[in-house]
Structure 1
Amino acid sequence: MFKKNLLLLIVCFSIYQFTAQTKKERKTIKALRIEKAPKIDGVLDDEAWNNAEIATNFVVFRPENGEAVKDEYQTTVKVVYDDNAIYISAQMNDPDPANIPKEFAVRDNFTIADFFLVTINPNDDGQNPFEFIVQSTGNQADANISNGREDFNWSAVWDSSAKIDEKGWNVEMEIPYRALRFANRKVQEWGFNFHRRLELLNEQHTWTFVDNSVGRWTQYDGLVTELRNIKPPTRLNLYPYASAVTNTFEGTTDFDWNVGMDIKYGLTENFTLDATLVPDFSQVGFDDVVLNLGPFEQQFTEQRQFFTEGTELFNIANLFYSRRIGGPPIDQFDVSSTLNANEEIIDYPNKTTMINAIKVSGRTKNGLGIGFFNAITQKAEATIKDNQTGQTRKEVIDPFTNYNILVLDQQFNQNSTISLINTNVTRDGRFRDANVTAMDWHIETKDSRYNADGSVRMSTISDDPNNPNTGWTFDNSFGYNSGNWFWEVGYNFENKDFNPNDLGILFTNDQQTIYGNLGWRTVKATKNFNRIWFNSYHNINFQHFSGTYTGYFTGIGGNAQTKERFSFGGFLNYGSEEKDFFEPRQGTTSGQFFLQPERLNVNGFISTNSQKKLALNVNGYYTGYTNNPKVGYGYSFSPRYRFNNQFSLRYRLRFNKTNDDQGYVDETANNIIFGFRDRKNYTNTIAGKYSFNTNSSLSLSFRHFWEAVSYISFNNLNAEGGLDPNTTYQGDNVNFNSWNLDLNYIWQFAPGSQLIAFYRNSIFNSNTNSNLNFFENIENLFDQSQRHTISVRFVYFIDYNRLKNIF
C-alpha cells in the first residue's frame, strides 16, 4: 500500500508540474539569410557578415557569476544561414593576443587553451541542445546534451577555423543542417547561447546570463529568430572502413583483415538510425585490469565508439552495461563439470563475437524521447578433446543471443522527466532469458528548487520457463538545490531476487538503505577563493530479506580552489561494525555473514595550477580499524609537464598497502575459508601526446599494475561472522601483473575521415612469488611471453547530400 500511495503522489506531482512554463525575458537576435556562404578561415571580412545582427554584452558565468564583462574582453557574435548550413562568427577582444593560451589537443579534448562554445537547441526545450566548440588552436569538440550532461562521445562533421589577430581572436563555424535535428517548419526560432572561456583569467563568459545558483545551465538560452524556409536534409552518412591486424605471441604471428561500414540515417526529422555492419574493435584501448579478490566482478569502462556515442537514452535508470555484449561467455551450465574422465578442454573462447547492432533514437518536438537498441552475438563454443581416441567435440558455452532495449522518456517543464525502460536478453536453446522493466523519474518544481528523484524496477529471469524468477527494486528521494544550500533524503531497496545483470550491472541486492546528504557551496567567488564546497552524508543499511540491521556509514568533507588555482580537499569517513552478507559467497538468504570491523578513514588531495608547465596532483588516505589489527593506507603522485604547446607528458604512481586484510579464500566440504593477508599494489601509468597539428597526433598510453598478496594464516568463518583458526588448510600466495603499452597515431585527412595506426605491447603474469621486491618482479615479468599487436584502420566519411550533388 505504501508503494502504491507513493507512486500516486509522484504521478499527481508530475501532473501538477506539467504546465507551460512562462517565458522569461530573453536576449533575442534575428538570423540573416545570405546568398553566398562565408569562407571559413577565421578572417571576418566576408560580405555575409556585413548586415548581420550582433549578439554582445556578455556577462561572467564563472567565477563572478552575473558580473558584466569588461569592454577589453567583450565578445560579439553573428548568425547567418542559407539552404545548407548555419554560420556563426565570433570576434573576441583580448588586450594581449600574443599570450592567448593555445596548447594543442586531439578532438573532443580540452587543454590549456581558450575556447568559444555555442549551444543550439532547435526544439527550444531547455534540456537537449547540441554543443559545438572551437579552441584557440582551431581544435574542435562537440557534444550532445541531455538534462545538463554533456556527452562528448557524440560527434558530428562540421567546419571551423580560428585566427588570432591584433584585436584578440576570431572564430568562424559552418554547421550543416545534417548535424542537427529540427522540425520542418516555415519559420523557426531556436534556443542559442554562446560561451567564451578565457584561460589566463580563469573566466567563462556567456551571452545570456546563466544563474548558477538554481536550475540547469541549459535553461537559460537566448533566442535566434527568423530562420525561414530551411528544410531538414536527408541525413545519411556512411563510414566505410578497412582494417588489417597482425598479432604475434610466443613465436606465432596471426594476420587478419576486415572491411565494414557504420551508417547514420535520419529516419525522420528528429529520429536517427545508427548501424554497425561487420563491427571491428581491433583498436579499442586496454582495460585497467586489477587483481580481484572481492565478491563482485570488476566493472570496465566502455571504449567501443558505437556503444559510447548517442546512448544517453539507453543509459537511463542504469540498466545498460554495454560490456555484456561481446563479453565473456556466460557458461551457464559449467561445461568443465560435464567432462568425461579422459576429456579436456583444449580451446575456450574468452569473448563472444558481435555480428551487428543498430540503435534508433530521437526526441519529438513535444519532448518525448524514443530509443530502440538491438544487437546480436553469435554462439561461442568450447572445444573438448578425448585424449584416448583423439576425437574432438564442441560444446556451446554461450548461444546465439539477441539483446534489445526500448526507452520512452517524456521531458517537460524544461527540468523534469519520466521514463519507461525495458531491456531484454533472448538466448537460443536451453540457456536462460532475462527481462528488466523500469519506470524512472526526475521531477522538479517550476523554479527548480525542489525535486523528487527515483525509480521502480522489475527483473524476470527465465531459467525455467514455467517458473520465472522475479525481483523488485524501489528508490525515491526528495531534495533541495538552490543558492548556497543543497540537501537530499531518500530510501531504496533491492529485494533478494532482483537481478539486471544479463544486460546491466548490479553488485549488491537484498538490501535497503535510508540515506541523506547536506551540503553548502559558494555560488560566487570570494576574496580569496574561486569556489568552496562542503558536504556530509549518512547511510543506514539493512538486509531486505530479513530486515537485519547491517551497518551505518557517515562522512563529512569538502574542497576549495584559491584565486591562484591551487585546489585542495578531503573527507573524514566513519563506518560502524558491518554484517557483510556478500563476502562469504553463500547467497544473502543463507544467513551467513562476515563481521567487518568498525573503521575510520581520512583522505585528502592537493592539485596545483594546471596552467603552469609543471602541474602536480597528490592524494593519500589512511584507514584504521577498531579492535582489529587491519590497517590500510596509500597515496597517488601524478606530475604533468607541458614541454610546449604540442608536447606534454603525464606520469602517475599509485600505491596501496593493507596489513592483516581479511577476506574469502576458498570453501571446503565443511568450512568457509578466510585468510589474514598482507596486500600491496603499485600502478604506474604514463600518458603522453605530441600534436603535429589539430588533425594529426601521436599518443602514448602505458600502464603496469602489480599486486602481491602474502597469506599470514587461514581461518574458518563461524556462524557469528567471526574467524576461528584453521591449521590444516594450505593456500598459495598471489603475485599478479598486468602490463600494457599502446602507441597510437591519428591523422584526420578529411572531415570525418581518419587513418589510425596502432601498436600494443602486453604481458600478463600470475604466480605465487609474492615475496619479490619491485625490481625482481619486473625482471620476472619480462621473462614472460609478450604479445605484440599492430593494426592499421582507414575510415572515410561520405555525406549522401554531397554525393548526390556530384552525380
Structure 2
Amino acid sequence: MRYYTGFLVFFLFPIVIIAQDSISVLKKRIYNTKLFDKDNVPIIDGVINEPSWDVVEWSGSFIESQPDENTPPSQKTKFKIGYDQKNLYVAYRCYDTEPDKIENRLSRRDGFAGDRITMILDTYHDKRTGFSFTITAAGVKGDEFVSQNGGNWDSSWNPIWYAASAIDDEGWTAEIKIPLSQLKFGKREEQIWGLQMSRMFFRKDERSVWQRIPRDASGFISEFGELHGLINIEPQKQLEIQPFLVTQLDTYSEEKGNPFRKGDDFKLNGGVDAKIGVTNDLTLDLTVNPDFGQVEADPATIVLDGFQVFFREQRPFFVENKNIFDYRFANGQDNIFYSRRIGRAPQGTISELDDEFINKPSNTTILGAAKFSGKTKNGWSIGVLESVTSREIAEIEDKLGNRREAIVEPMTNYFVSRIQKDFNKRNSFIGGIFTVTNRNLGDVFAIDEDDPNTDETSEIKGTRENNLNLLRKSAYTGGLDFRHNWNDRKYFVEGNIIASHVEGSKEAIKETQEGLTHLFQRVDASHVSLDVNRTSLTGTGGKLMGGKSGGGNWRYNTGVFWRSPELELNDVGFLRQADEIRQFANVRYLFLKPTNLYRRANIQFNQFSTFDFDGNYNRIQYRLKGYINYKNNWWTEIGLGHKPRIFINTFLRGGPRWRFSDENFTFLFFGSDKRKKFNFTVGYDGSRAQQNNFSFNRYVLRLQYQPFNAFSVSLNPEFEENPNRTQYVTEKDFNGTARYITAKIDQQTLSASVRLNYSVNPNLTIEYYGQPFISRGRYTDFNYVNNAIAKNLDERVTLYEQDQISFVDDEYAVDENRDGVTDYTFDDPDFAFVQFRSNLVLRWEYIPGSEIFLVWSQGITGDGAPSDRLFRSLNNQILNRHPENTFLIKATYRFVL
C-alpha cells in the first residue's frame, strides 16, 4: 500500500487560486405570469389570436449564446406565459425577416430538427434538474428531463402535453399547453421556478437565450432566470393507466424433426402500466406483465477478450427517471445499478445429450415491477425500484419424443433504493444507494432418484433438471456519495464509496472467484488465492476527485478510484474488472470567443496510470486531443497518445501477468455542416505497437441526406482490421506445466447501419433500421508464452516449429518435445460471424400519450467460412439465406384520470 498514499496526496486536489478567472454574477431575469380565467383559455392551434393572451405581457430581449456569446441575435424572439389551475400556457413569436427560408423539417418526436424554441423549467428550483419542452416550426414536439446541472439530457421522458405552430409573414409562432400533472413541484403559496428560453435559428446555427449564461459559466440550470406569479396552484396528483395489447407472429425456416421449430409461432400478450402521483413530488410507477420488447435491436458486436458487453437501456419503464437511480462510482459503465440485468437471458446451462432439440426462453419474464421516485421541495431525491422475474424452464426433446425440462433461471427479486439530499443552497449534496438481489434457488424441481420412471440420463418425459448451482443465491451492495461546489460553482470536490457482499454455494462462489472479473487463481498473484470452500465474498470500491468546472478558459480535475479484488456487482449492476487502482488527471482549455477562423474550439490533455492490489504498476497513458468548429460550421477532431507501459492481469485468463509492447495511437475525424440536407463525417482511428506486436485500424464514413422535409436517410459503414501477433487462444497442460498458447490473428470486421425516416406528420412516422455485420478471424503462427512480462516480444513467446504442430480434422496437434507422440491438441480458433438485423416501424401517436406500433423485424445470424472474403460471407450467409421474421402490432391507450 506504499504507493497509494502518495497518489492521494499528490494527485487528488489541485492547487486552486480562488481569485483566478473570476466571473461576474449576472442579474437574474424574472418573468411574472398571471392567472387565466378558466372559461377563457387559449386554443392550442399555433396562432396567437385569443383575447386570453392579453392578460400577460410579452418578454423578449434575447441574447446570443452561440456562436458569438453576449451579442445581439440575428432575429428577435418573444414569449408569454399564463396558467390556470390545471395547465401552463406558453405563446412564442419567433421573428424571421425571410420566412420563406424557415426550416420546418419533419421528424418523429424528439427529432429536434430545423427551427425550434425550447422552454426549460426548474420546477424543483434545485438548480440541478429541469423539464425541457421543445416545439419546432413544423410542429414537432421534443421533451427531455435535464439533470446534472445540464450535463445529462434524457429524451426518453415522454409527458403528455399539447403544441402547435404556424408560419406567417413575420416568421413563425407556436402555442403549447402543459398539464401541471406532468410537472413536479412542492406545495407553496407562490411557486418560484427556474426558467430559460432558448431559440435555435437553424440556417445560421445560432442559439439565443432569454437569460444570458456566459460561455465560461460553471453550470447551466444553476444560471437560469426565474418564473414568478404562480399563486396558490394546487399540486396535481397524477393518475394514469395505460393498458396495452401485443400480437406477434414469428416466421422462420422449418427444421424437420425439431418439435420446437415448426416454421412459425403466434403470441398474444397484454398488460397494464400505471402512474400514480402519491404527492406532486413523488410518483409510483407500476407495471403488470410488461411488454419490454425493444423496437430496435442491440448493435452486433464480437469481442475476443472475454469480457461482457455493455448495452444501453431502451425499455421505457427503466429509462424514465433513470438519473435518480444512477450510481457510476468509477469510470466508464461501472454502475451499481444496470437495469439490463432485469429480464436478462436465462443463465442456466443445459446438460445436452446427443440428438436432442432444445427450446430455451430468450429472455426472463418480468412478472411485475414497481418504481417510486421523485424529488421533494426540501431537496430530497428518492428512488425505490422493486421487480420480480419468473422461473424459466427450457424444454428438451429427443427424436423418440421423450421430453424433459431444465430450469434455466430461478424466480428472482431485485430491489434498488437511492436517496440524495441537497443542502448548502443547492451547492452540495450527499446521497446513498442500496441494492438487493435474491434468487429462489430452493424453489426448483430436482430429479427424483426414487422415481422408477427416471433413469440416470433423465431422458424420460416429465423430469426436470436443476442446473443453477453456479448462480449466486443473494447479492447486496451499498454506497455513499457526495459533491460540494463552491465559489459560484467553479470548483468542486466529489467522491463515493461502495461495498458489495455476495453469497452462494461453494460452486457458485468458486465460479465467481475464477471469473474474468476476478481471476483469484492467477498463478503470479500473492494477494488473492482461490478458496473452494468459500460461500461469500465482500469487496469495496470508490472514487475521490476534485477540480475546476467553470470560470475562465481552463477546466481541470484529478483524482483516484479503486475496485478491490472481491468487489462483485454483476447481479444487478455492471462491473467489468475488479482489482484496480487508477489515478487520473485531465486539463482542458476552451477558446470561448469566436474568430474569423472558428466558432468554438478546445484542446485537452489526459493522463492516467493503474495499479493492482498486489502493488504492480500496470499501465500509464497520455493523450492530447483537440476540437475545432470552423466558421462555416465544418469541424475537425484530432488526437494522439502514447502508452509506454501496458501490463494486463486478465489476458491469459488466470495465467501470469502479461505485457504488451509500447503503443502509440492517433485519431482524426472531420465533417461538414450538420445543418445541411447533405452532410458527412469521415474518420480514422488507429494504433501501433512496437515490434509489430499488434495494430488497429478503424475507418468510419457517415452520410446523411434529407432530400425533402419529411424524409431523411443515413448510411454509416465502418471497417476495422486488428492484426495481433499474440492473440490468446487457449491453455493446455504439458508435462504438468501450463502452456498458454497465443497466435497471430488477422481479424477484419465490416458493418453498415442504414436508417430511413419518413414523417407523414409530427405524430405519424415510418422508420427503417438495418445493419449487416461481419467479423472474420484467421489464426496462424501459433506460439506459447515463454516469459509473459519480457519487454522483448521474441522473449515473451516461442514460436512452434513446423515439425511441432500439425492440423488434422479441424484441430491442431502439438508434439512439443518432438518424440513422435502428441502432447496436446486444441480446436481450430478461426471464426467468421455474420449477422443481419433490421426493423421497419410505423408509429402513430393518435392522441397524446397513446400509440399504435406496426413492426416488421428481420434477422439472420450464422457462421461463415473463415477462408472467405468478407463480402462473400455477406452473400452466402445473409443474402442467400431465409431470414427469421417477426410481425408485431402493439396498441396502447393512456387514461388520464
Same fold (TM over 0.5): yes
Look up the match of 1:144: 145
TM-superposition CA deviations, 1:645-665 (whole Å, max 9, x none): 111111111001122353222
TM-superposition CA deviations, 1:4-48 (whole Å, max 9, x none): x999xx9xxxxxxxxxxx997321122111111101111111111
Look up the match of 2:100: 98
Match for residue 778 of structure 2 among 710, 722, 725: 710
**1:247–1:790 CA contact under 8 A, matched in 2:** yes
Look up the match of 2:202: 199
The yes-or-no answer on 1:295 pairing with 2:312 is: no
Q: Secondary structure at the match of 1:643?
A: strand
Structure 1 residues 445 and 736: CA distance shift in structure 2, 3 A: same
User: 1:374 Cα deviation (Å)?
Assistant: 1.1
**1:29–1:54 CA contact under 8 A, matched in 2:** no
**1:597–1:625 CA contact under 8 A, matched in 2:** yes
User: 1:687 Cα deviation (Å)?
Assistant: 0.6
Look up the match of 1:472: 540
Match for residue 591 of structure 2 among 503, 506, 522: 522
* Unmatched segments (≥5 aa) in structure 1: 11-21, 801-807
The code of the aligned residue for 2:235 comes to P
> 1:75 and 1:489 mapped to 2: Cα distance?
42
User: 1:416 Cα deviation (Å)?
Assistant: 3.2
TM-superposition CA deviations, 1:381-417 (whole Å, max 9, x none): 3345688x96443332321001111001112333433
> 1:514 and 1:233 mapped to 2: Cα distance?
48
**2:295–2:839 CA contact under 8 A, matched in 1:** no
The code of the aligned residue for 1:375 comes to S
> 1:781 and 1:173 mapped to 2: Cα distance?
48
User: 1:218 Cα deviation (Å)?
Assistant: 0.5
The yes-or-no answer on 1:735 pairing with 2:736 is: no
Match for residue 176 of structure 1 among 168, 174, 179: 179
Structure 1 residues 279 and 635: CA distance shift in structure 2, 3 A: same
Match for residue 386 of structure 2 among 342, 354, 374: 374
Look up the match of 2:243: 240
Structure 1 residues 309 and 84: CA distance shift in structure 2, 3 A: same
The yes-or-no answer on 1:409 pairing with 2:420 is: yes
The yes-or-no answer on 1:38 pairing with 2:107 is: no
Structure 1 residues 434 and 283: CA distance shift in structure 2, 3 A: closer
Equivalent residue runs for 1:742-757 within 5 Å: 742-757=839-854
Q: Secondary structure at the match of 1:48?
A: helix
> 1:367 and 1:212 mapped to 2: Cα distance?
28
Structure 1 residues 79 and 765: CA distance shift in structure 2, 3 A: same
Which stretch of the first structure deviates more once superposed, 687-696 or 225-234? 225-234
The yes-or-no answer on 1:561 pairing with 2:629 is: yes
Match for residue 346 of structure 2 among 322, 329, 335: 329
> 1:342 and 1:568 mapped to 2: Cα distance?
58
The code of the aligned residue for 2:848 comes to P
Q: Secondary structure at the match of 1:564?
A: coil
The yes-or-no answer on 1:622 pairing with 2:634 is: no
> 2:190 and 2:727 mapped to 1: Cα distance?
67
> 2:157 and 2:274 mapped to 1: Cα distance?
14
TM-superposition CA deviations, 1:714-745 (whole Å, max 9, x none): 22234534323342245241111110111111
The code of the aligned residue for 1:469 comes to L
Structure 1 residues 390 and 779: CA distance shift in structure 2, 3 A: closer
TM-superposition CA deviations, 1:620-664 (whole Å, max 9, x none): 123111123533212111111111111111111100112235322
Structure 1 residues 571 and 534: CA distance shift in structure 2, 3 A: same
The code of the aligned residue for 1:715 comes to N
User: 1:144 Cα deviation (Å)?
Assistant: 1.4
> 2:874 and 2:222 mapped to 1: Cα distance?
55
User: 1:464 Cα deviation (Å)?
Assistant: 4.7
Q: Secondary structure at the match of 1:286?
A: coil
Match for residue 63 of structure 1 among 64, 67, 86: 67
> 1:366 and 1:63 mapped to 2: Cα distance?
37
Look up the match of 1:129: 130
Match for residue 672 of structure 2 among 608, 620, 634: 608
> 2:286 and 2:838 mapped to 1: Cα distance?
31
> 1:27 and 1:253 mapped to 2: Cα distance?
63
TM-score by length of 2: 0.83
The code of the aligned residue for 1:371 comes to G
The yes-or-no answer on 1:724 pairing with 2:792 is: no
**1:675–1:712 CA contact under 8 A, matched in 2:** yes
Structure 1 residues 128 and 229: CA distance shift in structure 2, 3 A: same
Q: Secondary structure at the match of 2:722?
A: strand
User: 1:159 Cα deviation (Å)?
Assistant: 0.5
Match for residue 432 of structure 1 among 470, 473, 476: 473
Look up the match of 1:50: 54
The code of the aligned residue for 2:222 comes to Q
> 1:385 and 1:653 mapped to 2: Cα distance?
42
Look up the match of 2:578: 509
Q: Secondary structure at the match of 2:872?
A: helix
TM-superposition CA deviations, 1:311-330 (whole Å, max 9, x none): 11111332221111111223
**1:295–1:583 CA contact under 8 A, matched in 2:** no
Look up the match of 2:223: 220
**1:38–1:46 CA contact under 8 A, matched in 2:** yes
The code of the aligned residue for 1:530 comes to R
TM-superposition CA deviations, 1:453-481 (whole Å, max 9, x none): 22111111112598421011121111112
Structure 1 residues 6 and 187: CA distance shift in structure 2, 3 A: farther
Look up the match of 2:327: 316
Look up the match of 2:728: 664
User: 1:88 Cα deviation (Å)?
Assistant: 0.7
User: 1:435 Cα deviation (Å)?
Assistant: 1.0
Structure 1 residues 654 and 221: CA distance shift in structure 2, 3 A: same
Structure 1 residues 54 and 596: CA distance shift in structure 2, 3 A: same
> 1:414 and 1:62 mapped to 2: Cα distance?
28
RMSD: 2.3
The code of the aligned residue for 1:506 comes to L
The code of the aligned residue for 2:651 comes to E
TM-score by length of 1: 0.92
Percent of residue pairs identical: 25
Which stretch of the first structure deviates more once superposed, 49-58 or 648-657? 49-58
Look up the match of 2:257: none
The code of the aligned residue for 1:429 comes to L
User: 1:773 Cα deviation (Å)?
Assistant: 4.4
TM-superposition CA deviations, 1:252-287 (whole Å, max 9, x none): 111111111111110112000112211113453111
User: 1:521 Cα deviation (Å)?
Assistant: 1.0
> 1:542 and 1:633 mapped to 2: Cα distance?
28
Match for residue 86 of structure 1 among 73, 78, 88: 88
> 1:661 and 1:276 mapped to 2: Cα distance?
52
**1:283–1:791 CA contact under 8 A, matched in 2:** no
Match for residue 372 of structure 2 among 332, 336, 360: 360
Q: Secondary structure at the match of 1:491?
A: strand
> 2:86 and 2:599 mapped to 1: Cα distance?
43
Tell me which structure has the larger Cα radius of gyration. Answer: 2
User: 1:171 Cα deviation (Å)?
Assistant: 1.3
The yes-or-no answer on 1:420 pairing with 2:428 is: no
User: 1:668 Cα deviation (Å)?
Assistant: 2.5
**1:656–1:681 CA contact under 8 A, matched in 2:** yes
**2:863–2:877 CA contact under 8 A, matched in 1:** no
> 1:297 and 1:522 mapped to 2: Cα distance?
39
Give the count of matched residue pairs: 772
> 1:283 and 1:580 mapped to 2: Cα distance?
36
Structure 1 residues 780 and 335: CA distance shift in structure 2, 3 A: closer
User: 1:64 Cα deviation (Å)?
Assistant: 1.6
Which stretch of the first structure deviates more once superposed, 225-234 or 484-493? 225-234
> 1:143 and 1:342 mapped to 2: Cα distance?
53
Q: Secondary structure at the match of 1:576?
A: strand
Look up the match of 1:272: 283
Match for residue 775 of structure 1 among 872, 880, 883: 872
